[in-house]
């Protein structure tokens, strides 16, 4: 029997498909809900993945801490937001601020640091972009952006952005004088365990001020697209070569009992059978 093929990806954002006016929801964090979210999202990763590896965090730690940093990454699946949450809280020790188009369906996420965007109209989307610039005034926050604007398949090429990130960067420079951006590559892959691993690469820091940020938004978009694509390609090379020696580990599970037996058996030197 032939069944209709499932459409996994759409070029139209969900809020445009719904074509409904939706109230803007800002982030409304409290210490209690941030703690709950931090524990909940970390446990989710630990329950589903064997390990969380990351490389290049020094690109943030070596930066001027008087300048805000924006992280931007591709968006291929549901786990990306959870990974961003753990990056900000457990690696950089910041509160996440993450733009979510589906927040009106999951309003509780606003208590963990998410805020909404409605792409039904340019005017509605602009409210979220201006709010993003406002968030950069508070250094307890770390702004995380998925600049493609829609979910794309893993390793999708070419990487193309909508203009939201460029708008935020340009207006951040106008208001605060300087801004740093770091491209981040996510991957979810199997190495030698029976569970996948989260692999995160932080690319080279991009520093902008009034003297070097392009005034043309398309030119700025091209620079940022190239930086993210380069970071993703470098990560793909590491994974293809099985080279994780330079990665830090956020967590790594203990081997299951049957994997421990397997490791023990590998160390036993079994002599060959004698010829009969």
DSSP letters, 104-122, are GGSGGGGGGTEEE--TTSH
Q: Is residue 219 part of a domain?
A: yes
Does residue 91 have a pLDDT over 60?
yes
pLDDT for res 276: 45
Q: Is residue 165 part of a domain?
A: yes
The CATH number of residue 198's host domain is 3.40.1130.10
Q: Is residue 153 part of a domain?
A: yes
Q: Is residue 6 part of a domain?
A: no
* Interval 188-233: pLDDT, tens: 999 988 899 999 999 999 999 999 999 999 999 999 999 999 999 9
Domain that holds residue 173: 14-267
Mean pLDDT confidence for 94-121: 90
Domain tally, the chain = 1
pLDDT for res 239: 97
Report residue 10's pLDDT band, with 50, 70 and 90 as the boundaries: confident
User: Are the beta carbons of 256 and 209 closer than 8 angstroms?
Assistant: no
Q: Is residue 225 part of a domain?
A: yes
Q: Is residue 3 part of a domain?
A: no
Q: Is residue 276 part of a domain?
A: no
State residue 128 phi and psi, 5-degree precision: -70, -35
pLDDT for res 181: 98
The reply to whether the predicted model has a pTM over 0.75 is yes
Residue closest to 132 by CA, chosen among 175, 106, 102, 97: 97
Decide which of 215 and 17 is more confident: 215
Does residue 131 have a pLDDT over 60?
yes
Tell me the residue ranges of DSSP E strands in 155-246: 178-189, 197-202, 206-209
Q: Is residue 134 part of a domain?
A: yes
Mean pLDDT confidence for 18-29: 86
Does residue 256 have a pLDDT over 70?
no
Report residue 268's pLDDT band, with 50, 70 and 90 as the boundaries: low
């Amino acid at each position: 029997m032939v069944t209709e093929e499932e459409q996994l990806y759409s070029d139209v954002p969900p809020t445009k498909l719904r074509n409904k006016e939706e109230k803007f929801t800002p982030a409304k964090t409290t210490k209690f809900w941030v703690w709950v979210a931090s524990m909940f999202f970390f446990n989710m990763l630990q329950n589903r993945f064997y390990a969380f590896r990351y490389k290049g965090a020094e690109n943030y730690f070596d930066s001027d801490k008087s300048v805000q940093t924006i992280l931007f990454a591709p968006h291929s699946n549901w786990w990306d937001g959870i990974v961003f949450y753990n990056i900000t809280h457990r690696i950089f020790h910041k509160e996440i601020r993450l733009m979510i188009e589906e927040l009106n369906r999951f309003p509780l996420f606003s208590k963990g640091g998410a805020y909404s965007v409605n792409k039904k109209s340019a005017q509605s989307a602009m409210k979220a972009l201006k709010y993003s610039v406002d968030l950069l005034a508070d250094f307890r926050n770390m702004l995380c952006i998925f600049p493609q604007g829609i979910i794309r398949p893993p390793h999708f090429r070419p990487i193309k952005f909508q203009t939201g990130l460029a708008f935020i960067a340009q207006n951040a420079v106008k208001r605060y004088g300087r801004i740093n951006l770091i491209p981040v590559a996510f991957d979810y892959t199997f190495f030698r365990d029976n569970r996948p691993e989260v692999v995160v690469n932080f690319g080279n820091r991009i520093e902008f001020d009034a003297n070097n940020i392009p005034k043309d938004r398309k030119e700025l978009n091209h620079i940022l697209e190239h930086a993210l694509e380069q970071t993703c390609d470098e990560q793909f090379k590491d994974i293809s070569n099985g080279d994780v020696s330079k990665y830090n580990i956020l967590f790594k599970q203990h081997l299951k009992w049957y994997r421990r037996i397997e490791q023990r058996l590998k160390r036993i030197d079994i002599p060959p059978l004698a010829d009969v």
